[in-house]
Amino acid sequence: MTPYNEHKADVLKRLATSRQSGLTSEEAQARLTQHGPNALAASKPLPAWRQFLATLKEPLVIILFIAVLLAWASAGYDFFVRHDPSHGMAAVYESIAILLLIFVNAVLSFWQAKSAQKSLDALKVMADHHAKVLRDGDWLTVPATELVPGDIVSVKTGDFIEADVRWLHVAELQTNEAHLTGEAEPVQKQTHALGADVQIGDRTNMGFSGATVTHGNGLGVVVATGMQTELGKIATLLDQVKDKKTPIERTIARLTTKLMMVAMVIVAFTLLVELLKAYQQTGSLSFAALAESLSTAIALAVAAIPDALPAVLSIVLTVGATMLAKNNGLIKSLNSVETLGATSYIASDKTGTLTKNEMTVTRFYANGASYVVEGDGYEPVGEIIPDDEADTPGFSRFMMAAVLNNEAAIQTDDEGRSRPYGNPTDVALVVMGHKFGIDRDTILSKDQAQDIDIIRELPFDSDRKMMSVVIKDGDQYQVLTKGAPDVILAKTDAILDHDQLVTLPAGQTAVEAQVNRFAEQALRTLAVTLRDIDEDLALHGSTAELEQHLTLLGIAGIIDPPRPEVRQSVTTLHQAGIQVVMITGDHAVTARAIALKLGIVTDPSARVVEGKQLEAMTDEDLFRLAPSIRVYARVSPEHKQRIVRALQRHGETVAMTGDGINDAPALRAADIGIAMGINGTEVTKDAADLILLDDKFTTIERSVRAGRTILAISKTLCGMS
């Protein structure tokens, strides 16, 4: 039984702990000894000298070392047997030249790796974090590394969650779990047991190590620590990925085998011919004749080895890395330059990679008419355009209510960019208000013609699924409420339509049809309402009394919009024979809609495979299905890794892009991992081979183009060898 399927009382009983007093100090120490510190297993960094020596283990480099030994053997024969110092020095000079080429190749490879490699152990750093824990009946603050299963912990807004916990009590608790799901929208938490196996993003009664509390507070029991947490499972997936050979490494390995066979044939044939000639001339075979024949054979074998090839390839790949850098791509391994050129599939995370990760109101329905809101993201720039120019009733009351019933804000930083503060959905409404020309602070300022004050706030909670504020506008009191449309409509008496109040259920059909149209476009919907109330109810009314008999002002349609440049890049990649696959933790409807907008799929009914379906599939089932699927939704980090491996089994060269910790295992497993440089986590950048310094998907397209140029040159060089 998993903790999210268990009743909270059963979880406490299984862990032998008490909600009232927690563990005893003695029991906590015993469990710390049993389970170990609440930290991820750390691996020692590879010393620089070992990293340098690793560059000398390439097959072709080993052949060059053999060539050096053969050259020295030939020089020794010339010096001490033939007494021919001039010929012997020629062999010495050749060996020195080969050694210099080996050194140049090693230095180039080592320098490229070191210049791009970061010390990215952010995943494993927990030493400075502390947790509030109940032990022996008292609340204590202890290092996060000392948490053990069974500990009762308390969290509040702004805290990190330091272990996996099962929530026992929550008060407006919301957490950001983007490091595991890739989705920035905070998750509302509750305490009831879930009735089925669900993916991480749907485990609403759980808190996960590495998440942050964005709102409210909660009390939970620790159910997993260290490597047993969901974060620890990601670390395990990363550690389990074996080093993969790039296409150029596989080509060179084949070339090396061929060269060794050619060299052996040359030595054997030359030795045989020279010995036959010596026998014909003297009628016998002497040691001097054998040595002379062997020297000739060795010289020919050394000449057959393309000793400059490793250095030339390194120079070509270094030029390629420079080309990528000019296109805002930082490559961490020279061989990865060529891998880009061989890429046949690009598997990409959605949020933050294909989309902006900035929730935006793109449409709204108010006062009986529909509108388009121009502009994407948090920049408050864009026009509001009616669907029907002939039908434009006012929507100022909808805007005022959306902005006032809001705790978010946007501020301009030193670089002139808009920075969001607060819940992403609230931020989207604030940005919409700015585009209309209003904001909360201005409305509430006393130098305005209106005299508006907020006198009460009723925060959102998971039971009501609504948020309200009570305002005083002059002598009039009003309650402004927003929430999920289905919940709001159940509390609504009338709908504002062209400045007329239409009582329910007469106007409900039109509103529900509009909500469905927004849903078909993968827009998340939020209803905004108003109610006039008297002073007594405003000051003393309960939440239930205030949030009823509402008047619907409008519906906002919100989405994390696609990056505007991505669609053209996807088209270009398709034309180049490269397939693009979306792998996301978001819901299937949203994933399909975004994929359709970006051109990843062209069929509105294209199949989307969800994480729960992947759980039921064997690796063979996924192997057969993978080539035909372009969109995966509600997936876990392990699912992403399985998808990449299934495509690789088909002989595809797979690039994986992402920005969150949840993407790191798949990036490590892919033939080339691509991380976002601005918004990407340090862990993701560490797992990647290519870092996009501008976070633009178009940089991948340009990088692939440069990689194909380098690939063509590399193949030509290997062919000439």
Reported as a single tens digit per residue, the pLDDT across 140-165 is 999 999 999 999 999 998 888 999 99
Check residue 122 and give its pLDDT.
42
For residue 217, how many other CB atoms are within 10 A of its CB? 15
Task: Note the pLDDT tens digit of each residue in 121-139.
Answer: 444 443 358 899 999 999 9
Lowest mean per-residue pLDDT among 293-307, 332-346, 611-625: 293-307
CA distance linking residue 393 with residue 407, whole number of Å: 28
**What residues contact residue 530 under an 8 Å CB cut-off, 6+ apart?**
397, 401, 478, 479, 480, 481, 550, 551, 553
Backbone φ and ψ of 46, nearest 5°: -75, 125
The top-level CATH class assigned to 3-42+124-240 is: mainly beta
Q: How many CB atoms lie within 10 A of CB 380?
A: 18
pLDDT at site 483 = 93
For every residue of 3-39, which 3-state class applies, written as one string? HHHCCHHHHHHHCCCCCCCCECHHHHHHHHHHHCCCC
**Domain locations in the chain as residue ranges:** 3-42+124-240, 48-118+244-305, 315-355+563-720, 360-559
Backbone angles phi, psi at 613, to 5 degrees: -70, -40
The answer to whether 291 and 81 have CB atoms below 8 angstroms apart is yes
User: Is the Cβ–Cβ distance between 147 and 38 less than 8 Å?
Assistant: yes
Q: Which residues of 119-247 form beta strands (DSSP E)?
A: 130-135, 138-143, 152-156, 164-176, 187-188, 206-207, 212-224
Residues with Cβ within 8 Å of residue 108, at least 6 apart in sequence: 311, 314, 315, 318, 334
b/e per residue, 323-347, with b = 16+ CB within 10 A? bbeebbbbbbbbbbbbbbbbbbbbb
Contacts 24+ apart (CB under 8 A), 503-511: 510/368, 511/365, 511/485, 511/552, 511/555
Q: Identify the CATH assignment for 360-559 out of 3.40.1010.10, 3.40.50.970, 3.40.1110.10, 1.20.1290.10.
A: 3.40.1110.10
pLDDT for the residue numbered 545:
94
115 confidence band (pLDDT: 50, 70, 90): very low
3-class DSSP state for residue 411?
strand
Interacting residues of 65 by C-beta distance below 8 A, sequence separation 6+? 56, 102
Choose, from 164, 349, 376, 439, the residue flagged as catalytic. Answer: 349
% residues pLDDT > 70 (the chain): 83
Contact status, residue 490 vs residue 512, Cβ threshold 8 Å: no
What global pTM score does this model have? 0.69
Give residue 518's pLDDT.
92
Q: What number is the average pLDDT over the span 1-5?
A: 86
In angstroms, the CA 677 to CA 666 distance is 17
Q: Residue holding tokens 């490879």?
A: 109
Residues 161 and 203: beta-carbon distance below 8 Å: no
Report, in angstroms and rounded to the nearest whole number, the Rg of the chain calculated over CA atoms. Answer: 33
pLDDT at 116 over 50: no
User: Up-side HSE of residue 138: CA atoms within 13 Å toward CB?
Assistant: 5
Quick one: angle between helices 85-116 and 334-342, nearest 10? 70
Q: What mean pLDDT value characterizes the chain?
A: 84
Q: CA-CA distance, 336 to 343, in Å (whole number)?
A: 10
pLDDT level of residue 311 (50, 70, 90 thresholds): low
What pLDDT is attached to residue 580?
96
- The string of pLDDT tens digits covering residues 337-361 is 778 888 999 999 888 788 888 899 9
In the DSSP assignment, the letter for residue 146 is G
Element (H, E) at 430: helix 424-436
**Can 84 be counted among the known catalytic residues?**
no
Tell me the three state secondary structure of residue 205. Answer: coil
Helix (H, G, I), strand (E, B) or coil at 248: helix
Site of tokens 């294209």: 606
- Per-residue pLDDT at 305 exceeds 80: no
Task: Render the burial of 389-407: b for 16+ CB within 10 Å, e for the rest.
Answer: eeeeeebebbbbbbbbbbb
The DSSP secondary structure of 295-333, one letter per residue, reads HHHHHHHHHHS-TTHHHHHHHHHHHHHHHHHHTTEEESS
Let me know how long the chain is. 721
Question: pLDDT tens digit string along 557-583?
Answer: 999 988 888 999 999 999 999 999 999
Q: Which uninterrupted H or E stretch holds 77?
A: helix 59-80
- For 615-667, write each residue's pLDDT tens digit: 999 999 999 999 999 999 989 888 999 999 999 999 999 999 988 888 888 99
Q: Output the CATH code of domain 315-355+563-720.
A: 3.40.50.1000
3-state secondary structure of 525: strand
Taking only the tens place, the pLDDT of each residue in 359-411 is 999 999 999 999 999 998 898 999 999 998 888 888 999 999 999 999 889 98
Establish whether the linkage from the previous residue to 310 is cis, with ω within 30° of 0: no
Residue 286: predicted pLDDT: 64
Confidence grade of residue 720 (pLDDT, cut at 50, 70, 90)? very low
Distance CA 278, CA 288 (A): 10
Which segment of 56-60, 281-285, 294-298, 610-614 scores lowest on mean pLDDT? 294-298
Amino acid at 675: A
pLDDT tens by residue, 242-278: 666 666 566 666 666 676 677 677 777 777 777 787 7
* Amino acid in position 650: H
